[in-house]
Amino acid sequence: MFDLIVIGAGSSGCALAARASEDPNRHVLLVEAGPDYSDLRSTPFDLVNSHNNSYSAHDWGLSYLPTAGRDVRFPRGRVTGGSSAVNTTIALRGVPEDFAEWAATGLPEWNWEGVLPAYRRLERDLDFGERAWHGDAGPIPIRRYPASEMTLPHLAFFEAAKALGYPECADANEPEGWGASPQPMNKLGRLRVSCAVGYLAPARIRPNLDIRPETLVTRLIIENGRCTAVEVRNRTGAIEIIRARLIVLAAGAIMSPAILMRSGLGPRAQLEAHGVEVHRDIPGVGQNLSDHPALSVTMRPKDPAMIDHDAPIIQSILRYTAPGSDKRCDLQIEMLSFTGRRDEPQFGIAGVVEYQHGRGELRLASADPDAAPVIDMHFCEDDRDLERLVACYRDVLDFARQPAIADLAEDIVFPRGGSPTDERIAGLCRRFAGSGYHPCGTAKMGPASDPMAVVDQQGLCHGVDGLVVADASIMPAVPRANTNLTAIMIGEKIGEWLRTRPALYGL
């Protein structure tokens, strides 16, 4: 019998388990479906290598439907550290306006003033740690590449940005800042400082923290309206029931809603269609899927030797606002040092919609815990998103034509055919827009008066006692930033509440 079971050792789960286990009187169990590497010497290179993502070695094998007629691989980390252990290590925060909008939906604890302490607590900013909005003593180190460490494409990106009139911004995480910046990244040299490295490594010595890897949660046990236990399949294939006073679901925006639905918590019609006993009809589970639709220009270099797949893939960022938009920093442009296969040298520039109006959905394909859910993004079906991505892609093409970048390129591989019209760009967006790998919102926070809310602002599940959800799935909407730092912030914030306000959670 544990005090607390945390399901999922990803970005949020590691932070939450580490913070909650700071209380030596709480026995915490952290359950992870993937493997665990307890020290860096035994950690495989794909998890250490922050210069590029790990795409398959520690992956769930998922795919998603961005638009009609396509099925695309959707890498998500299956290992302690979760997607923080396999991602590009971009450490961007959401902007204050994101959290003002969250608060306005009935979540006052999540305004900018409410989330800033957690953002500061999680980071050790090696460049700007002395500034009031940064932290300098947290478990996640953050730094930016200086010009002396930039690859040629990224140096060209900054030169092009200056020629196009965008301002320089030394710190992309400055709350009111915008412009062309070196990417803030949670890496030290080549080492990816995942949440398994930053949070779990120092917490492992605690006798009150147990970590069980290669343990798949098949369902939650609901008894008389209360979550009392988890059913797991352990590394030997045996089924176990593990009980706790409180269950925290932190399996991420894809797996958390899938676990809820397999446990009988979700939209009634969908559960009944898969033969799942309905414990609570919660229509918002799996709905409200939010992400960042993106589309790239790819180029063939004049000198193939310029493309080094062993170099950092990303070092720079432009955060800016679409013409006429009332949503500040609703667009991003990123230079990619390399794209595609090693035997076809290419580099690229990605345009990304950061403030998404449209929503997708996640559905069960089967009640089988080994069956991947259906992930349907519905990208660019909302005209507001399409209009922004068209405008952003037009700006990306302007970057590609600037001499600093154009002089590096033999030709443009995609899109072909010279200068496309807005109508053609819109067609490309509808057909080819892909995920920024930032899914969230599938078990969103909201007051009980919101029929689509799944949890309240403390993460407590509406209508089910003893159950908390604390990961990217509870975000009401995708923030205007890569989501990893915000996912860590959620685990940090709710983990701190579990330690300092246990009565709120029945502990």
Q: Which residues are catalytic?
A: 438
State how far Cα 4 lies from the chain centre.
24
| Nearest-angstrom CA–CA distance, 459 and 454 | 9
The answer to whether 505 and 469 are in contact (CB under 8 A) is: no
| Nearest-angstrom CA–CA distance, 388 and 322 | 7
The answer to whether 52 and 313 are in contact (CB under 8 A) is: yes
The backbone torsions φ and ψ at residue 28, rounded to the nearest 5 degrees and listed phi first, read -110, 135
Burial class (CB in 10 A: 0-12, 13-18, 19+), 486: buried
Bridging pattern class, strands 239-249 and 2-7: parallel
Tell me the β-bridge partners of 460. 468
| Nearest-angstrom CA–CA distance, 122 and 496 | 11
3-class secondary structure per residue, 352-364? EECCCCCCEEEEC
Kindly give, in sequence order, each residue whose CB lies less than 8 Å from that of residue 408, ignoring residues fewer than 6 positions away: 152, 153, 156, 299, 301, 302, 303, 306, 347
User: Reduced to 3 states, what is the DSSP secondary structure of residue 479?
Assistant: coil
Angle at 93 between CA 89 and CA 246, to 5 degrees: 85
